[in-house]
Amino acid sequence: VLTQSPATLSLSPGERATLSCRASESVSSFLGWYQQKPGQAPRLIIYDASNRATGIPARFSGSGSGTDFTLTISSLEPEDFAVYYCQQRSSWPLLTFGGGTKVEIK
């Protein structure tokens, strides 16, 4: 089970966002992050805890291993306000997603 916190993060553009994902058991570094905007499919941001997906800006970074992971957006741009999901592949082929964190404009 992946638990994300907080459920909602209210921040202003230019601020730093820190999102958390906690696994009920170790997933090693096999964790990814997705961004989803209203009416759109999810977009992969980070894979294997800290690797940015193709075309993802450097303001997005991921860290962690084992059971505790963090997605950091160093300085929020207007287009970054969205819902973010973590996902583990440690139990491949069985995949699970966290419940999501909404980053909203304060």
Partner 1 sequence: QLQLQESGPGLVKPSETLSLTCTVSGGSISISSYYWGWIRQPPGKGLEWIGSIYHSGSTYYKPSLMSRVTISVDTSKNQFSLTLSSVTAADTAIYYCARDDYYDRSGFYEHWGRGTLVTVSS
Number of helices and strands (H, E) in the chain? 0, 11
If one asks whether residue 84 binds partner 1 (CB under 8 A), the answer comes out as no
CA atoms of 97 and 91, how far apart (whole Å): 12
Q: Which helix (H) or strand (E) holds 81?
A: none
If one asks whether residue 97 binds partner 1 (CB under 8 A), the answer comes out as yes
If one asks whether residue 7 binds partner 1 (CB under 8 A), the answer comes out as no
Q: Which of 12, 41, 58, 78 binds partner 1 (CB under 8 A)?
A: 41
Tokens of 83: 């819902």
The SS3 call for residue 15 is coil
If one asks whether residue 100 binds partner 1 (CB under 8 A), the answer comes out as yes
* Sites of contact with partner 1 (CB under 8 A): 30, 32, 34, 40-44, 47-48, 51, 53-54, 85, 87, 89, 92-100
